[in-house]
Amino acid sequence: MKPIRTERLILRNWEERDRALFHRINSDERVMEFFPFRRDRAAADAKMDELRGWIEKDDYGFAAAEIAATGECIGFVGITGADHLDLLPATVIEIGWRLAPEFWGKGYVTEAAEAWLAFGFEPLGLDEIVSFAVHDNRRSIAVMKRLGMCADPAGDFDHPAVPDSHPHLKRHVFYRLSREDWRAQKRAAR
């Protein structure tokens, strides 16, 4: 993957130096509030290797987000296939993110996600990008709205990977953004 630069960030593939941060964001109670699991170091390392492999294969994915001025990795933002969810068509591309808490509220996710939308709609030529989150995840839903994504209540679903032991995490809201709507928003912002 060729790194994507934004005003403050570099979006790039995972590097060995990112392992501690990747483990931290996958085991932190605040970051993982809306997930029914936490990853230990071995599971986090395996997941990071998996994400790195996807990026090497596809040239995009849930990529490391690094502060350009300091070289510090703060989490991930990216687009990837949603084929892990049987209830969605295999061609669906989702956008997602996860940052360490000390970087929340600084606009990093929105900045990086806007770059990923541009990448997905322009060079990749995607027709649509979707996102979904636990219905109570106000922070992620706010980002989706800032990105111009629209709620699609008909697409809301109970996540099949969430165990019955966590009923409050099952219901997910579904948001989507078409390339045409994205382009219209860009024209209107000029």
- CATH number of the domain bearing residue 133: 3.40.630.30
Confidence of residue 83 (pLDDT cuts 50, 70, 90): confident
pLDDT in tens, 152-182: 999 999 999 999 999 999 999 999 999 999 9
Q: Write down the pLDDT at residue 51.
A: 97
pLDDT in tens, 122-139: 999 999 999 999 999 999
pLDDT in tens, 27-68: 999 999 999 999 999 999 999 999 999 999 999 999 999 999
For residue 76, give both structure tokens: 């991930």
Which residues span the domain enclosing 37? 4-189
Number of structural domains found in the chain: 1
State pTM to two decimals: 0.95
Confidence of residue 190 (pLDDT cuts 50, 70, 90): confident
Q: Write down the pLDDT at residue 31.
A: 97
Closest residue by Cα to residue 65 from 89, 97, 87: 97
